[in-house]
Amino acid sequence: MSVIKRLSGLLMVFALLAGVNNAYAVIETYEFDSVEQREQFSRMNDVLRCPLCQNQSIGESNAPIANDLRREVHRLITDEQASDSDIVDFMLVRYGDFVLYKPPLDARTAALWFGPLFILLIGLFVLFRVFRSINFSEPDEKMNQQDQETLAKILGGKQS
């Protein structure tokens, strides 16, 4: 068997495993009144981060707490007709900013939002200064009158 065949076989296995993994993620089946609610549910599942698992959304995680939060999101959507921001607020009050992948923009997170831009600007500024300071003029350009006088002074008038 060629290497490529083996590799593609291996990739298939990985793809299958990934698929199996995803299939495990959300086992419960929820009922919804409308397609919009179902879409909202899956949207919120992606936006909200599982508080226990560090870097999985509540839709991806099998942790009991993620399960609880999914149930709660479902309840908020179907029973209380909550909007996206209602659901986010509900979670923020209990779990803080961590529960969102995208931190809100405020005084505490300003550095997070604008820091990279700031660093980029500094880099561009320095680059600009470096390029401007490089002397592209002819190296054997003739000295002007003032330069010649200065040179003469340094040499102590020996040339004149």
Listed ranges 19-27, 39-47, 68-76, 142-150: which one lies at the site for other proteins (CB under 8 A):
68-76
Shortest gap between Cβ of 126 and other proteins (angstroms)? 5
For residue 20, give every residue at least 6 positions away whose Cβ sits within 8 Å of its Cβ, in sequence order, or none. none
C-beta of 16 vs 122, nearer to other proteins: 122
- Integer CA distances (angstroms), 25 to 28, 35, 37, 99, in order: 9, 21, 20, 18
Among 110, 119, 151, 155, binds other proteins (CB under 8 A): 119
Contact string 20-49 vs other proteins (x = CB under 8 A): ------------------------------
Q: Is 69 near other proteins (CB under 8 A)?
A: yes
**Whole-angstrom distance, CA of residue 73 vs CA of residue 70:** 5
For residue 109, give every residue at least 6 positions away whose Cβ sits within 8 Å of its Cβ, in sequence order, or none. 97, 103
